[in-house]
Amino acid sequence: MTAHVMHPMASPDGCPALVLNADFRPLSYYPLSLWSWQDAIKAVFMDRVNIVSEYDTIVHSPSFNMRLPSVVSLKTYIKPSRTPAFTRFNVFLRDRFSCQYCNSRDDLTFDHVIPRSKGGLTTWENVVAACSPCNLRKGDKMPMVVDMLPMQKPFAPTVNDLHRNGKLFPPNYLHESWLDYLYWDSELEP
């Protein structure tokens, strides 16, 4: 299918769809569950999702015209994972995108608190966010030897831990049609 944009100012590539579970909560918050416009349209035609909201952008092929979905909900509920995936992004999110040695937010990488060369494992309990200068300074030394203990003891976060931290760092792009579905559990102010 070749899609052509009817609206001259918008590109379909800038129109991802927020994907909600059947209970209208995002499939994941961090990273935010987004599909490309092509995947969203495919899911609509396969009758796997309902369109909840649409962009003004229209795509067309020889046989149809369609406004691009901005929010879709799955027709079948998917049980969310209770434990977050051990990924670089989730380590950074757990550590609030800050070096655990100096609190810098620049040039982040991750560090094994107990170096691998000393038997340290690549696990939630041994990996922290670290800026490159601190990571280089610590090298493969034990934290006590170089007086570099992490500010927070590394731990396996819950989905709620990441969700709470993620609210401090919203994605760079939030379409207005998504807002009702992202912060539904935020505390309301009196």
Closest CA to 124 of 165, 95, 167, 163: 95
Is there a domain that residue 152 lies in?
no
Residues 63 and 100 in one domain: no
CB contact at 8 A, 127 and 150: no
> Burial of 79 by CB count in 10 Å (0-12 exposed, 13-18 middle, 19+ buried)?
exposed
Q: Is the dihedral of CA 30, 35, 37, 40 positive or negative?
A: negative
pLDDT in tens, 91-147: 998 999 999 999 999 999 999 999 999 999 999 999 999 999 999 999 999 999 999
Is there a domain that residue 2 lies in?
no
Is there a domain that residue 6 lies in?
no
Is there a domain that residue 64 lies in?
yes
Residues 73 and 95 in one domain: no
Residues 100 and 72 in one domain: no
Is there a domain that residue 150 lies in?
no
Residues 93 and 65 in one domain: no
Q: List the domain range (segments joined by +) for residue 18.
A: 13-80+167-180
Is there a domain that residue 41 lies in?
yes
Predicted local distance difference test score (pLDDT) of residue 138: 96
Residues of the chain by 3-state class (helix, strand, coil), percent to 5: 25, 25, 55
Residues 23 and 76 in one domain: yes
Overall domain count for the chain: 2
Predicted local distance difference test score (pLDDT) of residue 152: 96
Residues 171 and 121 in one domain: no
pTM: 0.64
Predicted local distance difference test score (pLDDT) of residue 173: 62
Is there a domain that residue 187 lies in?
no
Is there a domain that residue 190 lies in?
no
Predicted local distance difference test score (pLDDT) of residue 12: 59
CATH of the domain at 134: 1.10.30.50
